[in-house]
Chains A and B, each alone.
Chain A
Amino acid sequence: MNANDIERAERMSRGRAAIMALAALVLVINLALQYGNPAYVSADVRGASWIVVIGLWLFILWNGGGLRLKGNMRALLNDELSLQNRARALSTGFYVAVLGALILFATEWRVPVGAGDALKLVSGSALAAALLRYAWLEWR
């Protein structure tokens, strides 16, 4: 490990945070645009793409990404602070998921919400919140 590694890790860490913030924004835009459209919750490639997107970003959030990086750089990008930030981000995502599900539960008393849309709203908003929290913690 040398000074270049430290500088490079810092740049990559900021880049990762920016990408995660952008991904959160794209998720929210997708949620808004696709809500109520049965084509996006149907059992086909378009419907399944949501599973892929959520699964992919959840995986990246869980392991920090950069799987192609070598040991030192991965260790720097996933040091104590970064691991704590990810844990806090996942905690935020959990609370948003539970609160989102409760809000949808109550909303459904007055406005019908399809199961597919409800599940997309819960999973998408929880993941977007976690990604945004992580990006914010990393940028501080």
Chain B
Amino acid sequence: MAEGLANRLRELRAERDLTQAALAEAVGVSRKTINTVENGVFTPSVHLALKLARALDCKVEDVFSLDPKE
């Protein structure tokens, strides 16, 4: 993940009882992409971030935020 960028993807996905594969299917990417976003390895594009937020029925800033330590 880009320095100073935090995400709550894993937490929000778990709250909705979604597997990584189910979320991947909903947004049209591979499961590995979801996994790497959750682990902070990959920073998604704005387009994918918006699709993730829509799939989780929340605002994009609920999923991604600036690291408060920054």
B28:A76 contact, CB within 8 angstroms: yes
How far, in angstroms, from A16 to B44 measured CA to CA in the complex?
22
CB of A44 within 8 Å of the partner chain: no
Interface size in chain B (residues, C-beta < 8 A): 16
Partner of A10, one of B31, B41, B42, B48: B31
Size of the chain A interface, CB-CB below 8 angstroms:
19
A31 at the interface (CB under 8 A from B): no
Check B50 for interface membership: any CB of A closer than 8 A.
Answer: no
Q: Are B31 and A81 in contact (CB under 8 A)?
A: no
A3 interface neighbour in B22, B30, B33, B48, Cβ under 8 Å: B22
Residue in contact with B28 in the complex, picked from A13, A75, A138, CB distance below 8 Å:
A75
Residues of B within 8 A of A3 (CB): 21-22, 25
Contact between B22 and A13, CB atoms less than 8 A apart = no
Verify A6–B42 contact, CB threshold 8 A.
no
Q: Which of A3, A10, A80 has the most CB of B within 10 A?
A: A80
| Pair B25/A6 contact, Cβ less than 8 Å | yes
Q: Is the CB of A13 within 8 A of B45?
A: no
Q: What is the minimal beta-carbon distance from B27 to any residue of chain A, in angstroms?
A: 9
Q: What chain B residues lie within 8 Å of A13 (beta carbons)?
A: 30, 32
Q: Does B12 contact A (CB under 8 A)?
A: no
Report the Cα distance A80→B44, complex, angstroms: 7
Q: Is the CB of A10 within 8 A of B28?
A: no
Contact A80–B33 (Cβ < 8 Å): yes
Q: Are A81 and B42 in contact (CB under 8 A)?
A: yes
Q: Which single residue of chain B is at the shortest CB-CB distance from A139?
A: B32
A residues with CB within 8 A of B:
1-3, 5-7, 9-10, 13, 75-77, 79-82, 84, 138, 140
8 sampled A-B residue pairs with Cβ under 8 A: A7-B21, A9-B30, A10-B31, A13-B30, A75-B28, A79-B28, A80-B44, A81-B29
